[in-house]
Chains A and B, each alone.
Chain A
Amino acid sequence: AQSVAQPEDQVNVAEGNPLTVKCTYSVSGNPYLFWYVQYPNRGLQFLLKYITGDNLVKGSYGFEAEFNKSQTSFHLKKPSALVSDSALYFCAVRDRDTGRRALTFGSGTRLQVQP
């Protein structure tokens, strides 16, 4: 079985400050990891993914995420937050050693960036 935990329902940060949105995962094999963002009344947009290789992954809109195998974490980060980053963020995992292709999502973290 695979699962994802996003321990924070909401993260508040001031514009210009660094932000971190936390994610931990559980899979029986090796993971593919993803971050998606959802703006109000919109579908999910892909931000970035970890497949293999470098543990630091860079994605869209200046976001990056660090894969930590020992801590089974894949935290999303951005050096300087923008008000327009305010949205709902989902971490997702897929076990690449099984044939199951559907993603398992975390419960989402609402990011609120204050001006």
Chain B
Amino acid sequence: DTAVSQTPKYLVTQMGNDKSIKCEQNLGHDTMYWYKQDSKKFLKIMFSYNNKELIINETVPNRFSPKSPDKAHLNLHINSLELGDSAVYFCASSPLLGTNEQFFGPGTRLTVL
């Protein structure tokens, strides 16, 4: 069974559209994250949620809105997509206690045309 899963794996869309990426973890973790990996493979934290509560929002445009319906899910909704949003988006999770080893999903490659 996949520990952290994301859908879709690939997403191609036009500028100006609104799209969502879903993430689910079955590890029983309390904390979930969204990271963005750009074309140069640089990974940067976008959001962190702890038990459905937003903990970190790293200067991400407000076109990006995370939603956590329960602690096993953290979805990412993006409004008015721009060319610069093209990237690979990774979801991750970790337990609340302990050393914060994070488990990553397979990624969603978003291409904005």
Contacts and interface: CB of A to CB of B under 8 A. Distances in A.
Interface of A: 32, 34, 36, 38, 41-46, 49, 51, 88, 90, 94, 96, 100-105, 107-108
A107 B39 CA distance: 12
Contacts of B104: 36, 43-45
Contacts of B58: 102
B106 A101 contact: no
Interface residues of B, number: 26
Interface string B10-44: 00000000000000000000010100000011111
- Would you call the interface of chain A mostly helix, strand, loop, or mixed? strand
A50 to B, nearest CB: 9
24 contacts: A34-B102, A41-B107, A43-B4, A43-B104, A44-B92, A46-B102, A46-B103, A51-B99, A88-B41, A94-B100, A96-B99, A101-B31, A101-B50, A101-B94, A102-B45, A102-B58, A103-B45, A103-B100, A103-B102, A105-B42, A105-B43, A105-B44, A107-B41, A108-B42
